Amino acid sequence: MSSTQKLHVLFACSEAEPLAKVGGLGDVAGALPAEIMRTAGEQVDIRLIIPFHAVIKQKNPPVGLIGSFPIKTKAGQLLCDLYVTDLDGVITYLLDSDGINHNSPVYYGDASLDGRKYAQFSVALLEAMRFIDWQINILHANDWHSALAVYALKDLYQADPFFIHTKAILTVHNLPYNGFGADAAMTDLGFTPCRDPDLPDWARLTPLPLGLAAADRIVTVSPGYAEEILTPDYGCGLDGFLRLHQEKLSGIVNGIDLEKWNPETDEYIGHPYSIDRLHSKQLNKLDLQRELGLEMNPELPLFTVVSRLDFQKGIGLIFDAIPDLAHQNWQLVILGTGAKELEERARDIAAAYPHKIISIQKYDDVLSHKLYASGDIFLMPSLYEPCGLSQMIAMRYGNIPVARATGGLKNTIIDFYASPENATGFLFAEKSAEGLKNALESALNVFKNKQIWYRLQRNAMSADFSWRRSALQYLQIYQELSQNSI
């Protein structure tokens, strides 16, 4: 393409905050396209497309109907409606049809229903671009929900002149979720099984593996996770395929919203503070201790957990490790809901140590801000973590993470024992309660030395977790792909 011509990029995702957000994927789609647009200036015209979920309709944002167009199925044509709105300056398309939405949740949690919804979405988003006559240079898909659009370019649209020069990136946020169960919906839309001999047989009609096979570039949400998925422990049966094609695999760490998560301007905390006013952080701790009925003592180290109570998050390791530290002085506040077994264990351990541990089982955005601002030591012992956002937020607030050395955690946290002068937290390698306990003991020992602890806090609060850093890396990939297109 001409060096003076704007690059057309379509960013396809299942959710985007604030329109629809279930997890971290919504944070990414709500922030990254806008940051790419700001960073690229006149070089890139990036647009976002997501389903017109029922939750978006309930919010009733200002939208305009562009029109209707059909997609082909074995039963005939399915009519889709295309709407447009604005999300932080980014042109955002909303796709609607009986199959894509029909007043459905963002995710049913049923493999066949979700398979039908997102298989149709993947085809419809390409047809929508033909409908508005906007030729895309790069399709940027995310996870299995739009991975089939990547495969469709090589399968359904292989000889279609409208898409002949379209390159595709697939960002993998969480490899275990591969869209298994979408095969019936795919067959109905005319997809054929992938004939790539490098793919395992089970993957030949499964959305995420098909997207991986067809993508020109594969990006995970951290370099660490890109390395881990090449191994049997983390590769979900696709590690062999990925090793054969690792030349197109790389990792880019996500960012966080630096305006929302800013201890200097956070409206949810009583005492704003900065690197130069860290003494005010202790006032937030006193407020939280008072609010939760804990002993009011700013010298007591406060552990905090803000997380889904999920086995993947290593929450069980916390419950196994903490009793071995009961003889020491500390407090622990856990905020989150999730697996019933872990919720029960959280209640039990809080009952066993009523003056040390508080478990709050609900979603509370305001309280999460208070915990980040009040805590001294943030626990994140994930068994695996493709990127992780909580550790970056905690560091922004001078809440020092103790985390497992996995995925994005080892890319965003500088371990104290690896580099004491530059450290921003504590990492441990073992998937064990013993590993977590040892790391917590190390953090507690360092906490006693205020000079070293303040250095840790200042290092953590100075780290760059802006979306601009991520945007620049994605822009480089866009430009590389555009230079390789005719």
* The CATH fold of domain 7-255+468-484: Rossmann fold (3.40.50)
CA angle, 127 as apex, 92 and 196 as ends, to 5°? 110
At residue 194, φ and ψ (nearest 5 deg) are -70, 135
The two domains 7-255+468-484 and 275-464 share their CATH topology (first three levels equal) = yes
For residue 61, cis peptide bond before it (omega within 30 degrees of 0): no
Distance of alpha carbon 479 from its chain centroid, rounded?
A: 24
pLDDT string in tens for the chain (486-residue length): 445 589 999 999 999 999 999 988 999 999 999 999 999 999 999 999 999 999 999 999 999 999 999 999 888 899 999 999 999 999 999 999 988 987 889 999 899 999 999 999 999 999 999 999 999 999 999 999 999 999 999 999 999 999 999 999 999 999 999 999 999 999 999 999 999 999 999 999 999 999 999 999 999 999 999 999 999 999 999 999 999 999 999 999 999 999 999 999 999 999 999 999 999 999 999 999 999 999 999 999 999 999 999 999 999 999 999 999 999 999 999 999 999 999 999 999 999 999 999 999 998 999 999 999 999 999 999 999 999 999 999 999 999 999 999 999 999 999 999 999 999 999 999 999 999 999 999 999 999 999 999 999 999 999 999 999 999 999 999 999 998 754
Q: Rounded to an integer, what distance in angstroms lies between the CA atom of residue 29 and that of residue 39?
A: 16
Whether 201 and 234 have beta carbons less than 8 Å apart is answered as no
Which residues lie across from 51 on neighbouring strands?
95
- Going from N- to C-terminal start, the domains of the chain cover 7-255+468-484, 275-464
CA angle 417–418–424, rounded 5-degree value: 80
Q: What is the DSSP string of 21-45?
A: -SSHHHHHHHHHHHHHHHHHGGGEE
Nearest to 442 by CA among 452, 25, 215, 432: 452
Whether 242 contacts 249, CB under 8 Å: yes
pLDDT at 311: 95
CA separation for the pair 454, 424 (Å, rounded)? 10
**213-245 burial string, b = 16+ CB within 10 Å, else e?**
bbbbbbbbbbbbbbbbbbeeebbbebbebbeeb
- Lookup: tokens for 13: 């995702």
How do beta strands 249-251 and 138-142 pair? unpaired
Cβ contact 177:143 at 8 Å: yes
Which one, of 23, 98, 14, lies nearest residue 49 by Cα? 14
Distance CA 204, CA 20 (A): 31
Question: Distances from the Cα of 101 to the Cαs of 60, 74, 131, 147, in angstroms?
Answer: 15, 19, 19, 18
Which pLDDT value is given to residue 344?
A: 98
- pTM for the model: 0.93
Q: Phi-psi bin for 369: left (phi > 0), alpha (psi -120 to 50), beta? A: alpha
What is residue 400's predicted lDDT score, i.e. its pLDDT?
Answer: 98
What is the Cα–Cα distance from 32 to 24, expressed in whole angstroms?
Answer: 12
User: How far is 221 from 385, CA to CA, in rounded Å?
Assistant: 10
Provide the pairing of β-strand 167-172 with 217-220.
Answer: parallel
Residue 251 near residue 222, CB atoms below 8 Å:
yes
Contact present, 92 and 61 (Cβ < 8 Å): no
Superfamily of domain 275-464: Glycogen Phosphorylase B; (3.40.50.2000)
Q: Report the relative pairing of strands 44-51 and 167-172 from DSSP bridges.
A: unpaired
**Does residue 161 sit in helix, strand or coil?**
helix
Residue 295, C-beta contacts closer than 8 angstroms, at least 6 positions apart = 289, 331, 355
